[in-house]
Structure 1
């Protein structure tokens, strides 16, 4: 019988979710070398290679993909076992460490040092909403509407923040020298958003943005890391991409950021939580999020119609490209 090292299992899940050993190291709070050692230990215990490195980052092998759902279950059971003995921390699901929601949680925890919170990191294919619905999280930062799955009626929501989007272009792009462009002008160039290749609430957001403003959204058929996106956009004189102003975009010398106006598209991030048997630590976070919502931004932003009531945003006439 094999006694699996849970730290190694956790490192494996982090690498697969983040797509890079370095990003996984940041999430786990250890060195990249330590992540590599833990993966090597897991592979030695299992007798198979579970992760392979390539030019586009780290991905699970066929054996790794088979092991992944069991790895997630092992970690969930282990965390619940610890929680049953000493009290479980509030579990909050985020899409990633680079998201603005991660900064929001850091701000909250810095000002509430006695609060116990466990951050549950999700991915493009296994979203924060999925973590909430599956019971792996007590709350999640995500869009309330859209996506392939209708959320249960028992899930409550509050507006967390509107995240204005900016346009990223290569330094040789015709829009590179502009401080700002209208959404209609931005729509004259195709936007490469590979994250929208997977059915999700943000894929629906970009579909609705395309329908509203005439923006051509290209996905390439599969998600890509932000580094790959930046490389391709930097090398193109035609392609653009969108990124949230709160997202920590890696520095790239060939990329220029351009503000989008008239109107500014904004992604509506909500805090979602189970209204039944809510975790006792949830009330403070909900109150903090409600108090900090940047409602003043809504007047200048476009958000999809379904989100407008929750975020207090008004509609806009369809832009002409």
Structure 2
């Protein structure tokens, strides 16, 4: 069904004259008349009776009008829902408990009028997130292409913030009583990070991390989620994992897990924001400015090689 024909019918019915409907819709009276005639032919009924004063609804027209209004309203809402600038700012994060989501929530709390839609793309390959930005499925994505030369020309990647890492252990672990840890103290301890996806940005991060500090990162086994990982840590005397300092984790108090900052140097995961180069969502600029206002890492922090080549 031609939505513009339905829209023309609704406005003509409400205004009582084809010319008034045409003026409001920005078309000629002949165009409105033709649209309505085609709609009547499609429905096989007469919707209007033409009079000297304009048009009057027939009984069929009266029955059709409320449904036609719903059609026009539904289409308008659907268009608004996907049009940048009129719909919510849609940003992809790795998880709703991730540091990215926490930072966005902090921003939203200080700017409660912001129309923000936080989503999680089910994709480990950052190129899938880039494709989603290109297609307009999301307005921005907290992902990183570790080789900036591989970025498509119609998107850009900007530094977002760097997330310090902490060691998460159970109460029986030999490092559980430490208040801080240096990377050298992590050597020979099993750091379990299950489900590291090949070709993902974090796979390259852990490759560089283990090489730089001679660490033992074990990616064996499927990732059954944070709850299962926390259960293992609570019962283990030799398993630890790495988490972001801003990441949110919730566990039963009986687990007695410990989050221990890593220092001298601080280990950090660099987070980037992929955005379109042209016609970005109007709400993006404020988010980017907020990210730029976050406190920087100390000078001795360790970052992977691609982070040192990023340009703000």
Judge same fold: TM > 0.5, yes or no.
Answer: yes
SS in 2 for 1:300: coil
> Are 1:180 and 1:259, in contact at CA under 8 Å, matched by a contact in 2?
yes
C-alpha distance 195-298 of structure 1, shift in aligned 2 (>3 A)? farther
Aligned length: 232
1:98 maps onto 2:97 in alignment: yes
C-alpha distance 124-262 of structure 1, shift in aligned 2 (>3 A)? farther
Counterpart in the other structure of 2:211:
211
* Superposition map of 1:161-310 within 5 A: 161-252=161-252, 253-290=255-292, 292-295=293-296, 297-310=297-310
C-alpha distance 155-189 of structure 1, shift in aligned 2 (>3 A)? same
Unpaired stretches in structure 1, ≥5 consecutive residues: 1-77, 313-321
After superposing the two structures, state which structure 1 stretch, 242-251 or 228-237, moved more: 228-237
Counterpart in the other structure of 2:116:
117
> Are 1:192 and 1:239, in contact at CA under 8 Å, matched by a contact in 2?
yes
Cα distance in 1, alignment partners of residues 257 and 147 from structure 2: 30
Cα distance in 2, alignment partners of residues 246 and 85 from structure 1: 29
Counterpart in the other structure of 2:142:
141
Deviations 1:171-221 (A, max 9, x none): 111111111221011122121001414431112111110111111111124
Supply the RMSD in Å over aligned alpha carbons.
2.9
TM-score normalised by length of structure 1: 0.64
Cα distance in 2, alignment partners of residues 247 and 89 from structure 1: 24
SS in 2 for 1:264: coil
C-alpha distance 134-302 of structure 1, shift in aligned 2 (>3 A)? farther
Deviations 1:14-62 (A, max 9, x none): xxxxxxxxxxxxxxxxxxxxxxxxxxxxxxxxxxxxxxxxxxxxxxxxx
SS in 1 for 2:164: strand
C-alpha distance 310-85 of structure 1, shift in aligned 2 (>3 A)? closer
Cα shift at 1:81: 6.7
Cα distance in 2, alignment partners of residues 85 and 107 from structure 1: 23
Cα shift at 1:116: 2.1
